[in-house]
Amino acid sequence: MNGITRYVLRQTLGVMLFVTLSFTAAVWLVQSLRLIDLIVNRGLSLGLFLYLALLILPRFIDVVLPIAVFIALLFTYNRLLSESELIVMRAAGMSQAALARPGLIAGGLGFALLMSFSIYFLPASQRAFKDLQFEIRNRFASVLLQDGIFNTLSDDLTIYVRGRDTNGELVGLLIHETRDPDKPVTIVAQRGTFVDTDSGPRVLMVNGSRQQYDRTTGKLSVLTFDKYTLDLSDARDAPGVRDREPDELFLPQLLFGHTRPGDISHIIEANVRLVNPLSALAFCMIPLACLLTGEFNRRGQAQRVMLAIMLAFLFETLDIAFKNLAGRTIVAVPLLYINVLAPIASTTWLLWRDSWYVAPRGLVAPPAPAE
């Protein structure tokens, strides 16, 4: 790698890193705000919140990184053109392929990083996030309860909570359970709290009453209590072990795992995982094709920059549309590859054509005619 390649690559990677961190931080912050409610109103610990927020980070990097590659290359090569540095490099004898090499290296690094996400980091983070979400849903019942509405924890259990005090304890509880359909029970308590035990979650209540209605006899029995415990271990709809969804499976499992007959979700997910890394290469090819090929215009490259932005927007629109279409039918899967390979093949041909037909312009003067 010569000095000019390192010079251009260093600027490109700097811009790419800045854009990736800025965009990812902005999106991550907005999405993490949805989890703030788990701390403020649901009593979830700060450490658990930070862990949940960290697990959703790879998804945003996977979306932002290809766009960051495009912005970095468009900014860097446009600046090199506007300051006439590319003209000097061409005059020094650099071919189109040599000028495009820093951009291709940056795109290759983005491809390698996204491929590592597709193979390991994305499914690992999704698996850990959904496992923790499943545990919160089934073990920390108080996290899911919303104040002022009737919360249905299962088909036979409904809990209403008027509010919470500064210590996170429940105030104004009303519980209606129909585990025995012939003897529905309604419990009213002034205060209560959830406790997670080895045998399952329980709700501890104080100062209330328990009303049970016997449908066979038509009698209503009322029991007042100072303290009462309700076992919720058998009131959950979720099973003890859940099935893994396609986005939680590693790439070899998607490609070679056994699926149910007629289930194409694993095949579609595997192809999407393979296409996503290629999008970094496609996004890096668009500014190279627009800014490196064709004639130099001393009035500026605004039209070429706008063309690159329009082509990138078109590519992203088609990518989203084809992924949505592939989610409904496997016939659309080849369209994903056509969309991502088209800019790669077109730019490769344009760079090869210019390198073949345009002779390098050297700085050395032509030899004097022989006398």
Tokens of residue 216, six digits: 């066979």
Q: Assess whether pLDDT exceeds 60 at residue 368.
A: no
- Rounded average pLDDT over 153-169: 81
Q: Assess whether pLDDT exceeds 80 at residue 236.
A: no
Q: Find tokens 């980070």 and name the residue.
A: 57
How many whole angstroms separate alpha carbon 108 and alpha carbon 96? 18
Tokens of residue 8, six digits: 């251009």
- Rounded average pLDDT over 314-329: 92
Q: What is the pLDDT of residues 14-63, one digit of tens each?
A: 999 999 999 999 988 888 877 776 666 555 667 777 888 888 899 999 99
How many whole angstroms separate alpha carbon 288 and alpha carbon 76? 11
Tokens of residue 370, six digits: 């022989």
How many whole angstroms separate alpha carbon 117 and alpha carbon 63? 11
Q: Assess whether pLDDT exceeds 80 at residue 328.
A: yes
pLDDT band for 371, please (50, 70, 90 cuts).
very low
- How far does CA 315 lie from the centroid of its chain? 19
Helix (H), strand (E) at residue 265: helix 265-292
The torsion defined by the Cα of 94, 98, 102 and 108, in degrees rounded to 10, comes to 180
How many whole angstroms separate alpha carbon 143 and alpha carbon 38? 7
- Choose among 42, 39, 64: nearest CA to 50: 39
8 Å CB contact between 86 and 78: no
How many whole angstroms separate alpha carbon 189 and alpha carbon 178? 18
Q: Assess whether pLDDT exceeds 80 at residue 251.
A: yes
Query: 187 - beta bridge partners?
Result: 175, 210
Q: What is the pLDDT of residues 94-147, one digit of tens each?
A: 888 889 999 999 999 999 999 999 999 999 999 998 888 777 665 555 555 677
Q: Find tokens 């449908």 and name the residue.
A: 215
Q: What are phi and psi of 209, to 5 degrees?
A: -140, 150
* Three-state DSSP state, 146: coil
pLDDT at 242: 64
Q: What is the pLDDT of residues 277-311, one digit of tens each?
A: 999 999 999 999 999 886 666 666 788 999 999 99
- 57-82 and 122-139 helices cross at what angle (nearest 10)? 140
8 Å CB contact between 292 and 82: no
Entry pTM: 0.73
pLDDT band for 356, please (50, 70, 90 cuts).
low
pLDDT band for 7, please (50, 70, 90 cuts).
very high
What residue type is assigned to position 371 of the chain?
E
| Percentage of the chain exceeding pLDDT 70 | 82
How many whole angstroms separate alpha carbon 12 and alpha carbon 76? 6
* Side-chain half-sphere exposure of 85, counting CA atoms within 13 A: 12
